Amino acid sequence: MPIRQTKVFKFFSSIKLAIWLLSFIAIFSVIGTLIPQNKESCEYISRYGQSLYDIFAKTGVLNIYSAWWFVSLLALLCLNLAVCLFNRFSLKLRLLGTLLSHLSILVILAGSLIGMFYGEKGYSRINEGETINSFISKNKKIALDFSLRLDDFIYEEHIDPQEKLLVYPDVQQPPSEPKGTCEMEQDTCDTQQPGAAEREKPLAEIPVAVGSQSEIADTGFRVKILRYVPDFAMDVSTKQVTSRSAEPKNPALEVELKSKDGDIKTFWIFAAYPDIHKQIEKNFRFKYQWAWRRPKDFISKVTVIKGGEELLKKDVRVNSPLRFGGYSFFQSSYDKEHLSWSGLQIVKDPGVIVVYFGFFLLILGLIIIFYINPLIKRR
């Protein structure tokens, strides 16, 4: 009996099988999006309970897209496609679109297999100043024939136009509460001045940027912003101010106030504690109107070193990886608490080019099926 007439062959070349496979893969993919994938077991247990977790863990739905039965469905779909291609397709122009679009799926999956077997993918957390020359991929140490130094990691933010330093004339008020209560409850602090700051017109409105300065109306005073820290901290012994992290837990501005006569005072203004500076500066009331800053850029400044020579410097950003020696380095993570390191994703994937070729074939095939074939038929 010729192979094409065997039952097995007919089964694998049927469209019915293809439709069932597509349906099942779709349904299992749905499950994979409803149950968070690849999380810690304690997270699952607290969410679903122990018994349900055991069932999930055994069936593989917690890592569904790599579960053997899910991968088998994909493999079966490939087999189905391959048999169909072998069985039905001949080199007729009419069938070119169908041929290409179906072949493309096999090409894409072949590309992903190449990546799986011959690709390398790892993650490296590099401290500023540190140099790496290897990384871990699939539990194996991969040595690079060059090294990479992280010179600096920079986290940039967008300053919202609403973020301003406002200067008001000092209104004679009864001495306010001792500052201790302010620090404890900042909410009550704001309400203690019954909206006076809001109602009055400020003498000066200074957009927040280090170095920006302004005259305070016609008082002859000048104010200048010297420094911004998102998370104010002061060393008690040295009086050195630092930022504990990049999180805006206690945003503060250091300003310089220069009087007509050239007297200079510098002090800190806090967004959360608007009264603290009054101890030092009595002529004006300052209000630091803080606004949420959105991330602008994450930049890892790196240097490629080979044979003791600095070959290349590059700013690695999201959407702008470093490509060198067959490897790509992607900006992947950082820590807002300590901006002293950067996490880079290191990838070498020889399958990508095959996958992209598959993408091209797929689009070409679809265009032929939907738009070229009808034109040919009409003739």
Partner 1 sequence: MLSIYLNIAFAAYFTAMIFYFMELFFKPKLLSNIARVFLVCGILSLSVYMGLRWQIAGRPPLSNMFESLVVFAWAIAIVFIFIDIKYKIKSIAAPVALMSLITLGSASLLDKEIVSLLPALKSNWLTIHVLTCFIGYAALTVAFVSSLIFLIQKNKNQKLDEISYKMIAFGFLFLTLGIITGAVWANSAWGTYWSWDPKESWSLITWFVYAIYLHVRFTRGWKGKRAAWVSVLGFLAMLFTYFGVNYLLSGLHSYG
Give me the residues that bind partner 1 (CB under 8 A), please: 15, 18-19, 22-23, 25-26, 29-30, 32-34, 36-37, 65, 112, 121, 158, 294-298, 317-319, 321, 328, 330, 332, 345-347, 349, 352, 355-356, 359, 362-363, 366-367, 369-370
Provide, rounded to whole angstroms, the least separation between the CB of residue 351 and partner 1.
Answer: 9
Provide, rounded to whole angstroms, the least separation between the CB of residue 302 and partner 1.
Answer: 15
Provide, rounded to whole angstroms, the least separation between the CB of residue 238 and partner 1.
Answer: 35
The DSSP code sequence of 298-314 is: EEEEEEEEETTEEEEEE
Residue the block writes with tokens 């404890």? 184
Provide, rounded to whole angstroms, the least separation between the CB of residue 216 and partner 1.
Answer: 30
* Sign of the torsion angle spanned by Cα atoms 76, 77, 82, 84: positive
The DSSP code sequence of 327-370 is: EEEEEEEE-SS-TTEEEEEEEE-TTHHHHHHHHHHHHHHHHIII
Residues 33, 27 contacting (CB under 8 angstroms):
no
List, in order, residues 6 or more apart from 235 with CB less than 8 Å away.
241, 242
Q: In the complex with partner 1, which residue's Cβ is closer, 66 or 242?
A: 66
Q: In the complex with partner 1, which residue's Cβ is closer, 33 or 191?
A: 33
Q: In the complex with partner 1, which residue's Cβ is closer, 304 or 316?
A: 316
d(CA 41, CA 31): 18
Q: How many CA atoms lie within 13 Å of 347's alpha carbon, on the beta-carbon side?
A: 14
Q: In the complex with partner 1, which residue's Cβ is closer, 269 or 316?
A: 316
Provide, rounded to whole angstroms, the least separation between the CB of residue 295 and partner 1.
Answer: 6
Q: Which tokens hold the place of 6?
A: 């065997």
Q: In the complex with partner 1, which residue's Cβ is closer, 244 or 317?
A: 317
Q: In the complex with partner 1, which residue's Cβ is closer, 236 or 375?
A: 375
d(CA 314, CA 144): 18
Provide, rounded to whole angstroms, the least separation between the CB of residue 54 and partner 1.
Answer: 23
- Angle, to 10 degrees, between the axis of helix 68-88 and the axis of helix 15-34? 150
